[in-house]
């Protein structure tokens, strides 16, 4: 089974449907057993939904902010 850290590393690919069957099943198994990671994935999906509703032109600034936040998260994991 995946660790929480491994799930976070694959979370974007999972949400975007870019994982192969084996890895996708590993993620789903972990999510079935881990409340914290289920909450994390739910927050990721909500963030994506909010970002999709923003007006055009703000995406470049937000992409830079998202990259910076992702880097901070990786460094603290």
The enclosing H or E element of 35 equals helix 35-52
In eight-state DSSP terms, residue 57 is T
**How high is the pLDDT of residue 10?**
95
Could you tell me the pTM of the whole model?
Answer: 0.69
Taking the domain 4-76, which CATH number applies? 1.10.10
Contact (CB, 8 A) for 10 and 20: no
pLDDT per residue of the chain (77 residues) written in tens, 0 to 9: 899 999 999 999 999 999 999 999 999 999 999 999 999 999 999 988 887 887 776 667 777 888 888 888 778 75
Q: What angle do CA 50, 38, 25 make, to 5 degrees?
A: 110
| Distance of alpha carbon 29 from alpha carbon 56, whole angstroms | 37
Identify the pLDDT of residue 46. 94
Q: What residue ranges do the domains of the chain occupy? A: 4-76
């Amino acid at each position: 089974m995946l660790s929480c850290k491994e799930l976070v590393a694959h979370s974007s690919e999972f949400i975007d449907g870019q994982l192969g069957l084996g890895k996708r099943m590993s993620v789903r198994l972990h999510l079935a057993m881990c409340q914290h990671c289920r909450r994390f994935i739910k927050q990721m999906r909500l963030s994506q939904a909010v970002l999709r509703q923003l007006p055009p032109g703000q995406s470049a600034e937000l992409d830079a902010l998202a990259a910076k936040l992702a880097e901070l998260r990786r460094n603290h994991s």
